[in-house]
């Protein structure tokens, strides 16, 4: 079995190496064949491991010891339990769909083999992250997915906007990763180990350990949790480290789907859930996580209302949904957060790939104002996008309904500081989410076709290699919610892989409302309960208003924007975060660098220490050369003067 665990990430790595180093030899067909085969094998093995774990077989194995320092071993190993097995299936399934889709989307791109190399290596990196059993390997996977996102966002490196976007992602994540690295260092200092099991087993005994800081006395576990969460804020794009994610749209659409659905942005959510044995002992950290998540959920959803780029609407949707997951983590509903991560992976990948299908048909046009009327021209893309939108809006029985409603109910039951604010924030987010998701659908597929006249004659459905992944993703977007709802709610799905203190167990309170119900009865009860609660009617209202504004009275959105122009500008400027960071941090850093170069490097080091020394010696040598005339009487005169001064010196003494 250990060889099976090892084969899952390594088969993706091997495929990536072959496609990257021998791409010109094996050609385009060879590159996509070997990488798709690699991720397909990884998916098959992941499903097998998942089934084995569900039958009760978990594992914690060490593959090898990378090094030993101060008696502390740095190891590579795998922790295979319900949480990691679930993530393995999600990552490999979505990655396989993206690999297949890429054949059609990148068909004419000159970097075809390079792209398949990158996405296969991306999958390997994420698998190493979710399968890790220690903080060292977690950090390796953490940084590896960051590197691959940098390469893939800037894949079209000849575009200035792509280079700006990948540098932005890189720098913002460096801030988060700095906190993450400090958190790992604090774990090593406090527990003397990087192994998950050792750290988790000692967490309760360390709950009262404190450390003095300039801000007073802090509990060590709170410090560790907050530092680790800074890393999660960067990777999972939480306010205020969210600014890189919308710009990641500069990369090709397949990688947007992979980043937003199953890899990089989910890493932070997974990490906090994995660290539940630590976070549970810090009320402060949980409240911070809850408030940050709820703030991201509502404020990023509002920005999505004014976006006209089809991919950016879906991107801000990702930001908002990540906020829901983060808020659930802060409410100690870790199981529900991962449940929503899973359902979201399916319908968000579906929405991105559907958007890409539209972009292909319109010759890479992304402005929704130049779309419309594609419903009959692209029926498969339309139907799958409709399914994704219904799932995102939380309409039963689609997947998002079960996971999102569970998050809202969990936050309502939470007693953490900030829970009341969080509840109303995520509740308002339901209406906004439904509105912008169906705004996208109506502007793209309904109404009058606003495409260029030269394109209208050539509009058609995307080829099968593009639509097949859409159909495959649409299926779990429909059934995944009610299929796994009961197991998640009853605590059977993740078992002991997630730790929750009794006083924080909001999931158990939710399950109490469905006492004695299982299977189809539980699903029907959840739907009946959902349709009489505010989230359902807020979603329906959002969908209706989107239809009225973009199908019935198409002049109304413009009137609203002009009436509330200051608010519209705030949302259009994304609350000024980009302006603030660009002017205060980026430009200030450039000015600081120029000042340091001019005054310290060029002025002090080059000008004074190096060139100044050389110039001083040169000046002294010039003076000294005047003495060396070559005339004997000059030297004799100098000797007489020197002897005279020496006599005066001794007489004076």
Residue 427 CA: distances (Å) to CA of 110, 381, 420, 422, 601: 46, 30, 11, 8, 55
Enter the tokens of residue 306.
């004014």
With a CB cutoff of 8 Å and minimum separation 6, the contacts of 68 are 74
> Residue 256, SS3?
helix
Element (H, E) at 76: strand 72-80
Instruction: Residue 239: name the closest of 183, 187, 302, 332 by CA.
Output: 302
Q: For position 596, what pLDDT does the model report?
A: 74
Q: For position 45, what pLDDT does the model report?
A: 97
Instruction: Residue 131: name the closest of 203, 77, 70 by CA.
Output: 77
**Cis amide linkage into residue 240, ω under 30° from 0:** yes
Instruction: Residue 149: name the closest of 128, 168, 127 by CA.
Output: 168
Q: What is the 3-state secondary structure (H, E, C) of 195-251?
A: EHHHHHHHCHHHCCCEEEECCEEEEHHHHHHHHHHHHHHHHCCCCCCCCHHHHHHHC
Distance CA 75, CA 570 (A): 49
Distance CA 147, CA 166 (A): 10
What is the DSSP secondary-structure string of 173-190?
A: HHHHHHHHHHHHHHHHHH
Q: For position 512, what pLDDT does the model report?
A: 84
pLDDT < 70 positions in the chain: 1, 454, 456, 627, 653
Residue 53 CA: distances (Å) to CA of 58, 91, 203, 629: 5, 17, 25, 94
Q: Can you give the C-alpha Rg of the chain in angstroms?
A: 30
Enter the tokens of residue 280.
């549970």
pLDDT digits (tens, 9 = 90+) for 431-479: 999 999 999 999 999 988 887 776 767 788 889 999 999 999 999 999 9
Element (H, E) at 77: strand 72-80
What is the DSSP secondary-structure string of 19-50?
A: HHHSHHHHHHHHHHHHHHHHHHHHHHHHHHHH
Q: For position 653, what pLDDT does the model report?
A: 63
With a CB cutoff of 8 Å and minimum separation 6, the contacts of 326 are 232, 236, 238, 268, 269, 272, 289, 290, 292, 293, 296, 297, 337
pLDDT digits (tens, 9 = 90+) for 39-63: 999 999 999 999 999 998 999 999 9
> Residue 63, SS3?
strand
Q: Is 58 exposed, middle or buried (0-12, 13-18, 19+ CB in 10 A)?
A: middle
What is the DSSP secondary-structure string of 282-347?
A: -HHHHHHHHHHHHHHHHHHHHHHTT--BHHHHHHHHHHHHHHHHHHHHHTT-HHHHHHHHHHHHHH
Q: For position 621, what pLDDT does the model report?
A: 78
Asked if residues 409 and 331 have their Cβ atoms less than 8 Å apart, the reply is no
> Residue 67, SS3?
strand
**Cis amide linkage into residue 397, ω under 30° from 0:** yes
Tallying the residues shown for the chain, one arrives at 653
Q: For position 454, what pLDDT does the model report?
A: 62
Element (H, E) at 568: helix 565-572
Helices then strands (H, E): number in the chain?
29, 4
Q: Which residues pair with 78 in a beta bridge?
A: 61, 132
């Amino acid at each position: 079995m250990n060889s099976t665990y090892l084969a899952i990430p390594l088969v993706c790595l091997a495929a990536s190496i072959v496609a990257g180093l021998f791409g010109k030899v094996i050609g385009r067909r060879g590159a996509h064949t070997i990488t798709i085969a690699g991720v397909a094998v990884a998916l098959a093995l992941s499903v097998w491991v998942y089934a084995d774990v569900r039958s009760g077989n978990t594992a914690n194995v060490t593959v090898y010891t990378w090094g030993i320092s101060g008696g502390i071993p740095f190891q590579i190993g795998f922790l295979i339990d319900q949480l990691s097995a679930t993530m393995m299936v999600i990552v490999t399934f979505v990655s396989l769909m993206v690999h297949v889709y890429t054949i059609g989307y990148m068909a004419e791109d000159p970097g075809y083999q390079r792209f398949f190399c990158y996405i296969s290596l991306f999958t390997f990196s994420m698998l190493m992250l979710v399968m890790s059993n220690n903080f060292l390997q977690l950090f390796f996977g953490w940084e590896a997915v960051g590197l691959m996102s940098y390469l893939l966002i800037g894949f079209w490196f000849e575009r200035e906007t792509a280079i700006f976007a990948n540098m932005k992602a890189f720098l913002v994540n460096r801030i988060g990763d700095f906190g993450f690295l400090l958190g790992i260092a604090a774990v090593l200092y406090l527990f003397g180990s990087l192994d998950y099991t050792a750290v988790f087993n000692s967490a309760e005994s360390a709950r009262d350990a404190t450390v003095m800081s300039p801000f007073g006395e802090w509990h060590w576990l709170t410090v560790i949790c907050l530092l680790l969460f800074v890393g999660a804020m960067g990777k999972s794009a939480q306010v205020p480290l969210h600014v890189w994610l919308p710009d990641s749209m500069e990369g090709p659409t397949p990688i947007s789907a992979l980043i937003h659905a199953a890899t990089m942005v989910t890493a932070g959510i997974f990490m906090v859930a994995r660290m539940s044995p630590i976070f549970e002992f810090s009320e402060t950290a949980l409240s911070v996580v809850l408030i940050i998540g709820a703030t991201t959920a509502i404020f990023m959803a509002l920005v999505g209302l004014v976006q006209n780029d089809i991919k950016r609407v879906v991107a801000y949707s990702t930001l908002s949904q990540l906020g829901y997951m983060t808020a659930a983590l802060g409410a100690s509903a870790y199981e529900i957060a991962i449940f929503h991560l899973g359902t979201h992976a399916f319908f968000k990948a579906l929405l991105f790939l559907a958007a890409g299908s539209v972009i292909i048909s319109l010759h890479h046009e992304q402005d929704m104002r130049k779309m419309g009327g594609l419903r009959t021209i692209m029926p498969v893309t339309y139907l799958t996008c409709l399914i994704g939108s219904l799932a995102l809006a939380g309409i039963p029985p689609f997947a998002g309904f079960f996971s999102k409603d569970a998050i809202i109910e969990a936050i309502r039951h939470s007693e953490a500081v900030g829970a009341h604010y969080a509840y109303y924030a995520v509740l308002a987010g339901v209406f906004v989410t439904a509105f912008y998701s169906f705004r996208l659908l109506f502007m793209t597929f309904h109404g009058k076709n606003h495409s260029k006249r030269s394109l209208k004659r050539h509009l058609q459905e995307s080829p099968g290699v593009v639509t097949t992944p859409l159909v495959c993703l649409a299926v779990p977007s429909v059934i995944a919610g009610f299929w796994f709802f009961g197991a998640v709610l009853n605590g059977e799905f993740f078992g002991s892989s997630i730790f929750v203190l009794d006083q924080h167990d909001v999931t158990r309170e939710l399950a109490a409302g469905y006492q004695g119900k299982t299977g189809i009865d539980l699903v029907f009860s959840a739907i009946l309960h959902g349709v009489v609660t505010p989230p359902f009617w807020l979603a329906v209202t959002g969908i209706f208003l989107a239809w009225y504004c973009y199908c019935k009275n198409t002049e109304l959105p413009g009137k609203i924007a002009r009436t509330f122009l200051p608010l519209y500008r705030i949302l259009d400027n994304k609350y000024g975060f980009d302006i603030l960071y660009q002017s205060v941090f980026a430009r200030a850093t450039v000015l600081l660098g120029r000042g340091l170069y001019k005054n310290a490097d060029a002025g002090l080091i080059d000008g004074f220490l190096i060139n100044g020394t050389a110039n001083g010696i040169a000046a002294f040598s010039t003076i000294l050369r005047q003495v060396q005339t070559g005339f004997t009487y000059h030297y004799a005169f100098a000797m007489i003067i020197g002897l005279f001064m020496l006599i005066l010196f001794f007489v004076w003494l």
